[in-house]
Amino acid sequence: MSGFWRGKTCLVTGATGFLGGSLVAELLDQGAQVVALVRDMVPQSRFAATDLAKRAKIVRGALEDYAVIERALNEYAVDTVFHLGAQAIVGVANRNPLSTFEANIKGTWVLLEACRRVATIERVVVASSDKAYGDHAALPYHEDFPLQGRHPYDVSKSCADLIALSYAKTYSLPVAITRCGNLFGPGDLNINRIVPGTCLAAIDGARPVIRSDGSPVRDYVYVEDIVEGYLRVAEHLGDEGVVGRAFNFGTGEPVSVLDLTRRTLAAAGRADLEPEVRNHAHGEIQAQYLSSALAAEKLGWRPGAGLDQRLSQTFLWYREHRHFF
């Protein structure tokens, strides 16, 4: 630990989410004061189920409420913002695009406008996704690829990224963007995602369900590696060539859904279980994975371990916390 975060005051939106809880824990452990924006308290989340909710300062409200955001930034003299709050589930976005656009697009411009008007702000990190790139024939994604989302979730992230870049360019707001692959790891409560669902199926001795045909290819990144990436971006926001830039964070090891499921079963010691492939999924891109060369060059970031080791670590958490589900 460098000591960079000691004494800093950080607003974290999306603090009760999967990634948000891990980021809040790391910031607190490194000596930062954390102000958490909370809309709904999720009892099983890392934020609520551990001591994080007692160690952080909590502001109740929605991303889209400008008065709430500006008050939080001003009253707590926030210097650093990590904007993780979003509607992050692709299936929900397909069913209800309006709420996704409200949270992900309006929520971003509300937050950035408040940051522009509050004098204490020194750095802003906007969490995005590889989905912002949309469908491209050439892979892996590089940061200079055009943003061309077509499905509701993808479009919401493309728009939010462009809004963030406009605030950096037009108003010199010290903002940078993180674009990550699919997250997994301890604390993910969304059992519809492939790693949590497979871990729980393995514990119960049941066949895991794959909603697609198993062929879509993705980049799966361990949550603690992404937390480290977010901190690196914020710490380097004073460096030349970082403000107004996006950074990809991936493993360089894209795998199919079927392969990931089987590797998760192997990590759980249940390679005997055969996945049930239902082929019902729609509205998703066939292949998405990232080049992280820029993050390695500018930030010194690389994943801390390989996929199979991270899957083993993740399974142990689900086995210990089966009672949450």
Q: Provide the annotated active-site residues.
A: 153
* Residue pair 145/136 in contact by the 8 Å Cβ criterion: yes
Q: DSSP letter at 133?
A: G
Q: DSSP letter at 119?
A: T
13 vs 38: CA distance, rounded Å: 7
Residue 226 burial (C-beta neighbours within 10 Å; 0-12, 13-18, 19+): buried
DSSP result, 216-261: -EE-EEEHHHHHHHHHHHHHTTTSTTTTT-EEEE--S--EEHHHHH
Give the H or E element holding residue 25: helix 18-29
Query: How far are the Cα atoms of 151, 220, 250 from residue 141, in angstroms, in the given order?
Result: 18, 14, 10
CA dihedral 177, 92, 138, 162 (to 10 degrees): -30
Of the CA atoms within 13 Å of residue 43, those in its CB half-sphere come to 3
* Residue pair 248/271 in contact by the 8 Å Cβ criterion: no
154 vs 284: CA distance, rounded Å: 9
140 alpha carbon, distance to own chain's centre: 19
Q: At what angle do helices 307-320 and 257-267 cross, to 10 degrees?
A: 60
Residue 238 burial (C-beta neighbours within 10 Å; 0-12, 13-18, 19+): exposed
